[in-house]
Amino acid sequence: MADNVRRSVVLRRRPGGEPRHDDFELVDDEVPTPQPGQVVTRTIWLSIDPYMRGRLWDRKSYAPPVQIGEPMTGETVGEVVASADPAFQPGDVVAGARGWQSHCVSRGTALTKLTRGDAPLSAYLGVLGMPGTTAYSGMKDIGQPKAGETVVVSAASGAVGSVAGQLAKRAGARVVGIAGGPDKCLWVQETLRFDDCVDHRVPHLREALADACPNGVDVYFENVGGAVQEAAFSLLNPFARVVMCGMVAQYNESEPPPGPNLGFVVGKRIRIEGMIVSDKPERFAEWRALASPWVSEGSLHYRETVIEGLENAPGALQLLLRGGNFGKMLVRVGPDHA
Amino acid sequence: MADNVRRSVVLRRRPGGEPRHDDFELVDDEVPTPQPGQVVTRTIWLSIDPYMRGRLWDRKSYAPPVQIGEPMTGETVGEVVASADPAFQPGDVVAGARGWQSHCVSRGTALTKLTRGDAPLSAYLGVLGMPGTTAYSGMKDIGQPKAGETVVVSAASGAVGSVAGQLAKRAGARVVGIAGGPDKCLWVQETLRFDDCVDHRVPHLREALADACPNGVDVYFENVGGAVQEAAFSLLNPFARVVMCGMVAQYNESEPPPGPNLGFVVGKRIRIEGMIVSDKPERFAEWRALASPWVSEGSLHYRETVIEGLENAPGALQLLLRGGNFGKMLVRVGPDHA
């Protein structure tokens, strides 16, 4: 591909269920020239996250849907190739540009300058980026785990869940993960050091989770929904907090199934609260400052699944929604150094 | 009935659905002599409340179930007839004694002395008592309505709902009630001065409620559950608060039906929180001090349904669970003055 070509993955039609490769198409045009205040970056890493499925439905949500013919949206880490913002120079590495694109145009004010060598660049899309901040804000603002409490985290090996659980461990809680398959469960227990991890594919999930939580559940960090939610809700203690972060199990459903009868919420004085990380923008810098030393010293663990090539971003999203990733899902769009 | 006979309504068997008269029986014994620290009261008013249905199931909840052969529990206002607590004298009028009984034995420390003439004695079981305090605590601690917001209150003519909505009006909110039948709706609009009231018996409840809430719903005070909950939840705005106070529509069900899919809680950052008034005991005195002048001056409105005679308490509970009351449900057990 010539240096002056920009490649974009644009939405061709809205998937009714699982997104497929041919719901998207590749469109090439010229790399734009930045207007005053703008910065053009060459994408190195593209983040693939569950929320992206929500942008494909034509319905009102906290963020507008992606329009047919538009490039998909998504966080990237990239290298500045042209800048009309005096704060940025070609060669600078930045996070914050958005798009399933080989090159992104952004306002400089939306970008965060990174220093090569502080942490692997991909970490700024995962453990130190939006997913890590989501876990931090969810635990700080809603979950508030205390020493001795039991915390359950679904999608425990994922980019958000792995951080949420490690934060609860640091708070002194007993932490139980829920993950899909023995490999993920083993990693959650051995590397993340959760106290236990339950495979959601076992035949009697509720019983298995009850065995792992002999004192009930005080905080449930929800990433999944469905049968996993049902099992966790059935074990909630009085005054439990539920961090409603996501329900990925149903993101491909146009008509989500019924949920739990909420009678128990009254008698047990449960607090169930939804969150979107961007509501508290100050948490991003707070979290980066707090967690960067932990990443450097190796005390905060994470894992990545890397898919090669922008053209495979739709497949990466499909795989993520099936739980086919292990840790943070990333697409490598370009080389680390040009 | 002789002066020294105590009559009690005791639980004979646990109802599987709607409680019936013959699930209870009348048992007479002698009025006890108070032990040191105890006070014996003659019951004037007995309060009948939805939570009582929960005490009839043999299952763990925030309070233990009533046992077979035991008197039913319930708040009363009564007159002291014998006291072994120096703080109380025969003739004193008190709230706080508990039991579906002609005479209750209590520790004096559990009682609140009332002054005849400050307010009708029955008001201490409704607008100034547990239901009023429930509305106050629910709005103060969870709902927190602001001027210009839309607040929806279900069971709007009831003992809790009528106060919850009037408090939201005082906070400057647009208040929409949901009640059963045209008489209740008329009273909610004309006397309580809610901005609108929707009859939950109309064929298209959701549409009717949507018409009454053109700007969506910011606070939902939940007393009912079922289809009423579904309608209110469908209209919640981002950052809405749901005060989960009760779900009376399902209290007779041994197997409650499925509830709402909770996906919307994430995207809209909804807070759904359960409450039991006794968790914040300080609210009782706070509310009595705040609301007593409003009751005296006639600016806080309430309504009562009075059933005559302790033996009709089971029927009063049955009627309450059917929505057959209008305002606070009370049983008159004895005369105001002996």
Per-residue pLDDT of chain A (338 residues; tens, 9 = 90+): 667 999 999 999 999 999 999 999 999 999 999 999 999 999 999 999 999 999 999 988 888 999 999 999 999 999 999 999 999 999 999 999 999 999 999 999 999 999 998 899 999 999 999 999 999 999 999 999 999 999 999 999 999 999 999 999 999 999 999 999 999 999 999 999 999 999 999 999 999 999 999 999 999 999 999 999 999 999 999 999 999 999 999 999 989 999 999 999 999 999 999 999 999 999 999 999 999 999 999 999 999 999 999 999 999 999 999 999 999 999 999 999 87
Chain A residue with Cα closest to B246: A266
pLDDT computed for residue A3 by the predictor: 76
How far apart, in whole angstroms, are the C-alpha atoms of residue A32 and residue B172? 52
Nearest by CB to residue B269, choosing from A225, A257, A275, is: A275
Phi and psi, residue B248, nearest 5°:
-60, -25
DSSP state of B310: G
How crowded is residue A55: how many other Cβ atoms within 10 Å of its Cβ? 17
- Residue B81: exposure state from Cβ atoms within 10 A (0-12, 13-18, ≥19): middle
User: How does strand A112-114 pair with strand A174-179?
Assistant: unpaired
How far apart, in whole angstroms, are the C-alpha atoms of residue B178 and residue B196? 9
How far apart, in whole angstroms, are the C-alpha atoms of residue B226 and residue B176? 18
CA atoms within 13 A on the CB side of A216: 11
Provide the 3-class DSSP secondary structure of residue B332: strand
Provide the 3-class DSSP secondary structure of residue A15: coil
Cβ distance A274 to B265 less than 8 Å, yes or no, reads yes
How far apart, in whole angstroms, are the C-alpha atoms of residue B301 and residue B291? 11
Cβ distance B261 to A261 less than 8 Å, yes or no, reads no
Nearest by CB to residue B263, choosing from A256, A262, A266, is: A256
Cβ distance A266 to B258 less than 8 Å, yes or no, reads no
Q: List residues of A whose CB lies inside 8 A of any B CB.
A: 54, 61-62, 225, 229, 238, 244-247, 250, 256-276, 279
pLDDT in tens, B23-38: 999 999 999 999 999 9
pLDDT in tens, B55-114: 999 988 888 999 999 999 999 999 999 999 999 999 999 999 999 999 999 999 999 999
pLDDT computed for residue A54 by the predictor: 94
Predicted confidence band of residue B2 (pLDDT cuts 50, 70, 90)? low
Cβ distance B259 to A256 less than 8 Å, yes or no, reads no
Cβ distance B263 to A272 less than 8 Å, yes or no, reads no
Provide the 3-class DSSP secondary structure of residue A326: coil
ipTM computed for the complex: 0.94
List the single best residue of A239, A262, A279 to mutate versus B (max B Cβ within 10 A).
A262
pLDDT computed for residue A273 by the predictor: 98
Nearest by CB to residue A272, choosing from B258, B265, B267, is: B265
Q: Per-residue pLDDT for B1 more than 80? A: no
pLDDT computed for residue A2 by the predictor: 66
Domains of chain A in start order, with CATH, are 5-126+303-332 (3.90.180.10), 131-278 (3.40.50.720)
Provide the 3-class DSSP secondary structure of residue B197: strand
What is the residue type of B261? N
Place of tokens 């931090």: A136
List the single best residue of B59, B244, B248, B277 to mutate versus A (max A Cβ within 10 A).
B244
Chain A residue with Cα closest to B272: A272
